[in-house]
Structure 1
Amino acid sequence: MKLYQNNSLNPKIRSYSGEEWEFIKVLSGLFRFIYKEFVKSVKNSNSRIRIDKNKIHWVLTVPAIWEDQAKEIMRRAFHQAEIISSKDSANLLFCYEPEAAALDFFHDQKIKLNFNDKKLLVVDAGGGTIDITLMKSTIENNKIKEFEVLMVPKGGDFGSIYIDQQFMKFFQSFLNLNDNQFNHFKNECPKGILKILNIWEGIKIGIQEKEMTENNDQIIEIPSIVLKDLEKIFGIEDFGHLADQFNQRNRNSGLSEIEWDDDEDQLVIKGDRIKSFFEEPIDKLKKYLNNLKQKSEILKQTEIVFFTGGLSNCDYFRKSVQKILGNNYQYNTAPYPDKSILLGAVYFGFDPNIVSMRRSQFTYGILASIRYNPRIHDPNRKETTKISNRQEIEIIKNVFHPFIFKGDKIKLSEPKIEIYTPVDDKHKEWDVKILRTDKKWDPNYKAIYSDSQDVKIMGSAKIPIPKSNLSLDKQKMEVSFHFATTEFKIFMKYLPDPKIQKNLTLNYDQTQN
């Protein structure tokens, strides 16, 4: 979640104790640990196996709604962990989680027969985000021939951890601790907190909708380590008294009272209170889906709704989504929602080209100087320059010249090729800057400029322009944009002399708001 809508390449995170850490260092340490555990596991299964890092292909699954720099942070952390030889190594692939889940779904034999050419709305309910993507698979000779992503991935930060946060707020309130005290407790008793969260996880995903509506009892066992630490740190011994105080403070909440079982060290809460923990994220999801129904044709195209991700284990969550969307769809859930993405990532790793089409999540373009057009350009930005025949022309600098628009179909096997020519003969090199915006607009209506607030510079490269007697219109530069994986690559070539070429690496250090 730290990387969702993150604008920094070096974000910071805080520990329970309030210490600030560089996120990349923490992440690289995690990757290093996972790699060591992987090596240990392989060696334990077969001591003769020699592991060559350069021959291992890694697939990292990421939310489809992540921005480009989030993947860049993951790459840097993976490289810092010394798992890949260079940051841009082809041995590391990113797989979008809804796509992975759908790949797993369509690899089932019965699914192949029954759902060929049908449109599948994937609801990937993970820990931090919920991703929603529309997909279609074409089956031929019992194999996936074509796999298309039919919409820009959508969703938001209303995943499972927000339900957990509501539970932890309740637990803090039950203990009658202020924020500083509770943070101190979490710092002093991390194992106990993890045990409580694991117990809560079982309740969260296991509870049935019927148990909430019938207001059944739910038992939360409080681990002995937690009870001992609460007594040691705060002198808390009488948990029955805490329950009575909680009920008194919340007597007007409209929710059932809680109970403390002193014999079993258990907190007993009713289904209506469990339901209240779900309310905020479910309300956010409801608003989002209702907005999608009103403003988009996506749901009209949908035939199947497919649940995946850990929260999809929860009966109440699935039925809440069904109530929001209605009964016009066939609903399916992955047999193992929390493993479906892992299995699909394996299929993707063996055949990254299995996804034939996506929709562009952003509008991408190039920084350009173009001839002034009074219909679409700001006259205050107009400049005059001389071209090689000394003719004066009016130009506009720092224009966002788009090469692909948000929502456009991207055929991953076909690069997007654009040809550019110099506006004058004053420059000795091409300075190519790749831009991005969240806007989708009609370029014939109004130009967007690189200094607009919502435009970001994604990368840049320079390539020399040799001295030439060629006219400006013959000094062409070919820029090709390749979208074959979840990360796009850019290649530049000077057409009069194809030996002059360069690969553009996206330099996210230059990313700006």
Structure 2
Amino acid sequence: MATAKNDDGLLVAAIDLGTTFSGYAFSFRHDFNRDPMVIQTNVWPGYGSNKTPTALLLKKNKEFDSFGHQAEEKYCQLSEEDEHHGWYFFRRFKMRLHKEGLKKTTELKDEEGKSLPAVDVFKHVICFLKDHLLKEINNRCPNIEMLDISWVITVPAIWNDAAKQFMRLAANKAGIKSEKLTLALEPEAASIYCKLIPVQRMTNTSGKDILACFQAGYKYLIADLGGGTADMTVHQVMSDFNLQEIHKPSGGDWGGLQVDDEFLIFLDNLFGPKVMEEFRGEFKADFLDLTRDFEAKKKKLGESNSGRVVLRIPVPLTQLLKDKRKLSLVEAIAKSNYKDIKVKGDRIMLQEEIVEEFFKNILKNIVDYIVRILQDPKCSDIKMILMVGGFSESPLVRKTIRAKFEKNMRVIVPQDAGMSVLKGAVLFGHAPNVVAERICKRTYGIDMHYDFIEGKHSKAKKVEIDGIELCKDIFEKFVTVGDSIRLGETKSHDFYNTFESSDRKKKIEKVRVYTSLEKMPQYVTDKTCNEIGTIELKPPAEGWPDTVEGRIEMQFGGTEFKVRVIDEVTKKEFASSFDFLG
């Protein structure tokens, strides 16, 4: 790996908290130096998989009970015995962080509609995975402590700054210190992993082709298709074999979870919304079995030549159908829009075309978005699409992407596409400088006052301070949307402030941070601008001096921004940080 290494600690541990499934991986420093691909993963007992469902069960007193398969099964057992009331059960809640308006006080609703602070829900999950990982590591190498570990948590590249800060806050509450934590962007992590993956573990392509893919100058699109989001970016291999981002991370909520939502709509149409509502509420274990059955069939759709998908319908569902609608399973199908469904005992046989319809809109969104990226002049010479993430393992998804793009470029899916992000995050933790340049997703700036210039500034923005005419609300730009920013690149702006009043001497000062999709916004009040947070400046122990002639430095190019505030007169650095959560 041609990049500077992180030598802080004995090992790197990565946590991938996904929308539908979560897991962890780790590698020791000495193994990485010898062979970067020696990465340890966990296999969940009894299930044989490297990931477990993102499901959290808390007791009535809000203390942790269980996570993953165990949480799902215990909650179903409690429900069957009608003892689940008052317990807190959360599933598939990660997508809430993709929404706008995320705050420290944001709450999540559980299966029964009860609310808890979202940061506590994420804290419990991270804490469980962290403790499980530590136990596994100590089984192999006793006496490893938290200080020996550099932690990495994966996040979608399309997440905003507030969501990233939220994840860091949850990790801090789970016992992972900020100075030992790095956030890895999911498609970047997958790209790093696939750049090193052995040739024989790529599918449907020759070794010669793979080796050519990662030569200097080669451009490729990474499509990270997960449970919640489709996350895309474009990388170019640099002369030192590090990576340069040439298209800003983007995408949408077009993951496998949306296919599940379409399946639930299908069940509502087939059995009736009221029947399904009662079935979901009263027979949670049977509902879980039905959705697990569909999940297994969904992953294999398009793999066989049978042309049909067989699902077992739980007995309580057919009994509810009789009680509520006075219909047998055969009669309900006859009254629906799905006349071609066959019934055999407790199983229904669907034509594959019916299930393929569940994928239709999501796949169209993914394909259309890739087309738009390829229309960017900087991306016109892309020669490969690299498909990673759990949703990429679907034969139908692979078939659709290949049918659209494989005439003009390679479409490559690693055999362990669902683990590429997690394993890549471990590699990123060892070599965090591997992505040397990134594209700025937005124009970033702060709110400043400048001398008022007649004819240039709006009269509505004119204010007078200490006898001087100033223009308020100026968008003081740090970086511009679309700019290529080198890792660690710093942009700075000077500022002047007075603290003559005694009540401000000990107060935290806040500088408002704004973004825009425009290249040259003039005022922070423009319609295209949004206030996304603040830079917080903490006063020295003795309080602020009467005047501060300072410099704000913002460091870009990483997965998160960093800020420094320096007094130009004394050269003293003030304690400062971003707050995007309010």
Question: Is TM-score (shorter-chain normalized) higher than 0.5?
Answer: yes
Alignment of 1:364-383 (within 5 A): 364-374=444-454, 376-383=456-463
Find the counterpart in structure 1 of residue 137 from structure 2. Answer: 42
Is 1:174 the counterpart of 2:270? The answer is yes
Alignment of 1:286-365 (within 5 A): 286-293=367-374, 296-325=376-405, 327-365=407-445
* Cα deviation, residue 34, structure 1: 1.7
Which of the residues 281, 287, 293 maps onto 2:362? 281
Alignment of 1:52-91 (within 5 A): 52-81=145-174, 83-85=175-177, 89-91=178-180
Find the counterpart in structure 1 of residue 65 from structure 2. Answer: none
Change (3 A) 1:326 1:45: closer
Is 1:216 the counterpart of 2:295? The answer is no
Partner of 1:353: helix, strand, or coil? coil
Is 1:153 the counterpart of 2:246? The answer is no
> So what's the TM-score if we normalise by structure 2?
0.73
For 2:372 and 2:237, locate their aligned partners in 1 and report how far apart those are by CA, in whole Å.
Answer: 26
Change (3 A) 1:454 1:183: farther
Alignment of 1:101-112 (within 5 A): 101-108=190-197, 110=199, 111-112=210-211
Alignment of 1:399-438 (within 5 A): 399-421=474-496, 431-438=509-516
Partner of 2:578: helix, strand, or coil? coil
Which of the residues 484, 490, 494 maps onto 2:563? 490
Which of the residues 289, 292, 310 maps onto 1:195? 289
Partner of 2:266: helix, strand, or coil? helix
Contact 2:450 2:474 in 1 (8 A): yes
> So what's the TM-score if we normalise by structure 1?
0.82
Find the counterpart in structure 2 of residue 471 from structure 1. Answer: none
Partner of 1:165: helix, strand, or coil? helix
Aligned length: 468
| RMSD, matched Cα | 3.0
Find the counterpart in structure 2 of residue 261 from structure 1. Answer: 344
Change (3 A) 1:239 1:55: farther
For 2:287 and 2:156, locate their aligned partners in 1 and report how far apart those are by CA, in whole Å.
Answer: 27
Partner of 2:297: helix, strand, or coil? helix
Partner of 2:98: helix, strand, or coil? coil
Contact 1:131 1:156 in 2 (8 A): yes
* Cα deviation, residue 454, structure 1: 3.9
* Cα deviation, residue 436, structure 1: 2.5
For 1:243 and 1:163, locate their aligned partners in 2 and report how far apart those are by CA, in whole Å.
Answer: 25
Is 1:246 the counterpart of 2:333? The answer is yes
Contact 2:321 2:329 in 1 (8 A): no
For 1:281 and 1:241, locate their aligned partners in 2 and report how far apart those are by CA, in whole Å.
Answer: 33
Change (3 A) 1:26 1:189: farther
* Cα deviation, residue 240, structure 1: 9.2
Find the counterpart in structure 2 of residue 98 from structure 1. Answer: 187
Change (3 A) 1:396 1:54: same
For 2:149 and 2:170, locate their aligned partners in 1 and report how far apart those are by CA, in whole Å.
Answer: 17
For 1:15 and 1:63, locate their aligned partners in 2 and report how far apart those are by CA, in whole Å.
Answer: 23
For 1:199 and 1:298, locate their aligned partners in 2 and report how far apart those are by CA, in whole Å.
Answer: 43
For 1:301 and 1:5, locate their aligned partners in 2 and report how far apart those are by CA, in whole Å.
Answer: 33
Which of the residues 223, 236, 259 maps onto 1:163? 259
Find the counterpart in structure 1 of residue 578 from structure 2. Answer: 506
For 2:120 and 2:536, locate their aligned partners in 1 and report how far apart those are by CA, in whole Å.
Answer: 28
Find the counterpart in structure 2 of residue 389 from structure 1. Answer: none
For 1:115 and 1:84, locate their aligned partners in 2 and report how far apart those are by CA, in whole Å.
Answer: 35
Partner of 2:190: helix, strand, or coil? helix
Contact 1:129 1:156 in 2 (8 A): yes
Change (3 A) 1:113 1:380: same
